[in-house]
Amino acid sequence: MNRIVNKFAQLKGAGQKGFIVYIGAGDPNLEATRDLAIAFDQAGVDILELGVPFSDPLADGLVNQLAAQRGLEPGTTPPEVLATVAAIRKNSEIPVILYIYFNLIHRVGLERFIKAAAKAGVDGLLVLDLPPEESDNYEALMKKNGLCHIYLVAPTTPEDRIEFIVKRGSGFIYYISREGVTGMQQQVAANLAQQVAKIRAHTNLPVAVGFGISTPKQAKLVAHDADAVVVGSAVVNQIAERGKSKDLVRHASAFVKSLANAIKSI
């Protein structure tokens, strides 16, 4: 069974909420990415999102844009990210999603990239700029290779389109709780429960909520309404502050553990 599907089944059976963390692959280097992944698994992270560095990350705010830039500086490439996932697999079975822009896949070749991702131990793809209407071949290849294709729903998505999107997705639905790009926010969206209920009316897939969640208190609030909480920029910011220092993994893991503890206390 796909690790993402299996993880959500385990969480549901245990009556727990999921915790998904995003980091930029190659930030500050791929060895650190591997070490962070393994440490995050031990700290209570259920699923890891790895952002594949791209020169024009349109969906990302400044914190994650800078992470992509730091990943690109040493020349991090998609094949190297896949090799890092394979290295993670030697020590951890944490489900891994690649957060990626379609141009990077297109340059390698759709079928070739998906096969290589599956072989490396990737469990799903979240392609930021590939709409479901243009995804027939992509979805078929993902299913053939046992990977989840994850789609986004935004606060501005009309209900008829929500129904269309969620029927095409697999693994889970990623609800963007705020309009705009990624980034840390001071407050959780006020209409979160209503929006999640609207999505659940059209699917049995788990609903993960992200964009803007940056503290244990916020994570706990979101966990009341969502099946999983996604934290990205706040973790990436911890990595940015520590850079290549020796205590990077320890420091980032302690922050992640505080978020995990808040979510798991529901």
Closest by CA position to 42, among listed 205, 237, 252, 208: 252
Domain span holding position 150: 3-264
Catalytic residue among 35, 41, 49, 225: 49
Angle (nearest 5°) at CA 186 between 37 and 26: 25
Amino acid making up residue 56: D
User: Tokens 């992200």 sit at which residue?
Assistant: 210
* Count of the separate structural domains present in the chain: 1
Could you tell me the strand order of the sheet in which 124-127 lies? Answer: 148-149, 124-127, 96-100, 47-51, 18-24, 228-231, 207-210, 173-176, 151-153
Check if 41 is active-site.
no
What's 207's domain CATH number? 3.20.20.70
* pLDDT value for 189: 61
Q: What is the pLDDT of residue 59?
A: 67
User: What pLDDT is stored for residue 211 in this prediction?
Assistant: 86
225 catalytic? Reply is: no
Neighbours of 209 (CB within 10 A): 27
Note the pLDDT of residue 158: 95
Catalytic residue among 41, 60, 123, 227: 60
pLDDT digits (tens, 9 = 90+) for 45-98: 999 999 999 998 776 778 889 999 999 998 999 999 999 999 999 999 999 999
Residues of the chain with pLDDT under 70: 59, 178-190
pLDDT at residue 56, as a whole number: 84
The predicted structure's pLDDT at residue 34: 98
Give CA separation, 16 vs 1, 23, 174, 251, in Å.
Answer: 20, 23, 18, 25
